[in-house]
Amino acid sequence: MNTLSEQLFHIEQLTHTIVNQPDDPLYTVIDQGNGGVQVIPTPLANMIFLTIRDYIYPLLQQFPIHQFNPYINVFFKNVLNGNLAESILHHESLKKQNDHYQIGFDYEVVLDVMTRMRVCLDQIRQEIKSFEFKNLIYNANRASKKNYEGLMAYIDSLFDNYYQLLVIRVDLGYHQGNHITCQVDVANKYWEAKHDFEHLFNNAKMNSLFEHKVGHIWSLEYGPDKGYHYHLILFFDGSKVQHDVYLAMRVGEYWIYPITAGRGVYWNCNDHKDDYFKCGIGMIHYSEGEKIKHLKQAAAYLIKVDHYARLLTPGNGRTFGRGEILPPRIEGPGRPRLYKINSN
């Protein structure tokens, strides 16, 4: 699991497994005689152990000002409140190469892990059964579904109105020296990024660079190293513009100068199309259902992380946006389209 969204998805699924396996013993202890015991974890206990050891603290560092999906939040909260994470790290410090322990010595360490894990899982199951938790899930799923369906309908409306679109993706951020160093920076850097991004869009209305732009999708993310940064997908009328790599470069350079006055950096995704196994950027004709499918997957990814870890912005500002869904195209007297859009 390399991506953050995959790690968060794993924790959500693990929490479901915890609820669905209430009778899992977690550990089997076998007396070996002479004060020695063998402690054998079940697959569930082993997965919980490895997840906490490998993911929990790195994820908390990557999402310092976020609200997690209810399932992920209940997992993190009970693991941390019950000191299970600390207990597991203490066990790791033993550097045990087997599952054998000596009573009166290292067995007490693994016994602490077993006890805290059982208590933690009981609390997780109890909380997830509550009415308050079920209400949180309902609201979270409804908001996520609404965002996803609106995004898919928006992309469909663009291809319904234009025979081909030049799609570019540019990631907009700041030099590493511009990252957050203290809590005060969280608000200051947010308003700075928001102002710069609004400046870009306001200028786009009068700049010939964006003359043939017909749509956009954006998401705002935050990381302790990168600080605030935007993922931006722009749609241009493919009958009017070409050369996606060059156009994406110009948008990125425009972000650096004059928008951020040299404080900004950008990443031209179109210049690295070969790196994508499923490429959904560049010139796309309305009949190219596979490319449109890949575009939708890439666009959906922009809101996927938000489903698992929603960025908490000062003033409850937006972290995702798109253009308005275009009305259905009215066929003129010319030749009708030969293909129907089929990219689901």
What is the spatial distance between Cα 90 and Cα 86, in angstroms, rounded to a whole number? Answer: 6
What is the spatial distance between Cα 340 and Cα 289, in angstroms, rounded to a whole number? Answer: 9
Terminal-residue alpha carbon distance, the chain: 26
Per-position b or e across 208-223, b if 16+ CB within 10 A of its CB: eebeebbbbbbbbbbb
| CB-based contact 199:259 (threshold 8 Å) | yes
Enter the tokens of residue 313: 């912005």
| CB-based contact 87:114 (threshold 8 Å) | no
Residue closest to 322 by CA, chosen among 303, 304, 295, 341: 303
Can you name the residues that pair with 231 across neighbouring β-strands?
Answer: 171, 219
| CB-based contact 256:264 (threshold 8 Å) | yes
CA 278 → CA 2, 192, 270, 274, 322, distances in Å?
17, 34, 13, 9, 22
| CB-based contact 216:235 (threshold 8 Å) | yes
> 35: phi > 0 → left, psi -120 to 50 → alpha, else beta; which?
left
What is the spatial distance between Cα 247 and Cα 210, in angstroms, rounded to a whole number? Answer: 10
In the chain (344 residues long), the average pLDDT of successive 10-residue segments reads 81 97 96 93 96 92 88 96 94 87 93 97 97 92 90 96 96 81 80 95 91 96 85 96 96 96 95 85 94 93 83 88 87 54 56
Its pTM stands at 0.84
The CB density around residue 174, as the number of other CB atoms within 10 Å, is 20
In this prediction, residue 334 carries a pLDDT of: 46
Residue closest to 252 by CA, chosen among 270, 240, 238: 270
Distance of CA 37 to the CA centre of its chain: 43
